[in-house]
Amino acid sequence: MRAMHTLDNSWPALVRGNAFVRACWRGLAQIYFQPSVFAGMAFFAILVLAAPSAALGGALGSVVATATAWALRLPRRARHAGLYSYNGALTGIALVALFEPSTRLLVWLLLTAMLGVPLTHLFAARRVPALTGPFVAIMLCTVAWAPALGLAHRHSHAAGCQPSDLGFVFCSIGQVVFVAPLVLGLLLSYVLAVRDTRTTGWAMLCALLAWAGAAAFGPVWPALAAQTGGIGVNSFLAALGLGMFGFGVPARLAGAFAACLLCLLFGTLAWPYFTLPFNLSVWGLWLLREQSRRAAR
């Protein structure tokens, strides 16, 4: 999701000398706006500890999406940064985490990982960040078409974050990639903080404020309590993304709050939304900023 600024040059020759492999690792890292081979490797290792099958799904999605971007000869800088790969990686993780393994699931994973690349390029051609828009569109279609596709929902995937969870913020960070255990959420937070302490800290504060609101009003507002997990994930991502795109703290707080309201709206309507609220809040603020810049010229 975030453009690459520097190449990692401290890795063994197998990784350092292979642009394709580096792009695959960055595809995993860009789920959290990190253009880093190290972050991609760390996220993969954490996923392996949490759910090996989901980790493999994410790796496969990233490899397929990266290969598709290479085959289509899309802009070099963006594909080397993993910007065409992270939606495929996230889709692979989600499909394996939410549906029972089968040959049909594997075929659908391969197809959707490829499909995410041209969808991402449509956003790039209009100079709008794709965020996780392609992932959301693919997952909403998958949920709607699951019976026709022959996909069976898992009944054992981890529950979302709850206001009573001691480590709600870390749970929210982990739930972005369907990682529930507190210690693994802590590890993900550490990797993010190493890369950008200030931006990660503000994003965690937004998730903490979401937790405080859910804990305070959830007992008397059932609709809020039911959406706490989605609120935590989307408020964190909104604040993190806006920070990475150079927005100030007030805009990050506003974006996180807007994402919370959208979670409540979609939840009340009983619509599955994944990370759609985060996308809508960031896109809204992004477009407002672009319009103000054009007006100032």
pLDDT greater than 90 at residue 205: yes
Torsion sign, CA atoms 76, 78, 81, 83: negative
The Cα 244–Cα 266 span in angstroms is: 26
| Tens digit of each residue's pLDDT (9 = 90 or more) over 262-291 | 999 999 999 999 999 999 999 999 999 999
Question: Please, which residues bridge with residue 25 across strands?
Answer: none
What span, in angstroms and rounded, lies between the C-alpha atoms of 55 and 184? 13
Please tell me the chain's helix, strand, coil percentages from 3-state DSSP, rounded to the nearest 5. 75, 0, 25
d(C-alpha 187, C-alpha 96), whole Å = 22
Here the tokens at position 111 are 């197809």
Residue 224: predicted pLDDT = 84
Assigned token pair, 200: 């990660």
User: Which of the four pLDDT bands, split at 50, 70 and 90, describes residue 228?
Assistant: confident
Residue holding tokens 């619509």? 271
* Model pLDDT, residue 171: 83
pLDDT at 16 over 80: no
Q: How far apart are alpha carbons 210 and 87 in whole angstroms? A: 26
Lowest mean pLDDT among 56-60, 217-221, 248-252: 217-221
Query: Quick one: which of 192, 196, 104, 187 has its CA closest to 146?
Result: 104
Q: What pLDDT sits at residue 176?
A: 85
User: Residue 11 has what pLDDT?
Assistant: 47
* Banded pLDDT at 162 (limits 50, 70, 90): low
- Round the average pLDDT of the chain to a whole number and report it: 89
pLDDT band at 179 (very low <50, low <70, confident <90, very high): confident
At 165 the pLDDT is 66
CA-atom Rg of the chain in angstroms = 18
In the numeric block, which tokens belong to residue 204?
């965690």
**Between residues 17 and 234, which one has the greater pLDDT?**
234
**Cβ neighbours of residue 165 under 8 Å, at least 6 residues apart?**
171, 182
Range in 11-20, 200-209, 227-236 with the lowest mean pLDDT: 11-20
Q: Taking 60 as the threshold, does the pLDDT of residue 33 lie above it?
A: yes
Question: Residue 119 is encoded by which pair of tokens?
Answer: 């969808």
Per-residue pLDDT for 158 more than 80? no
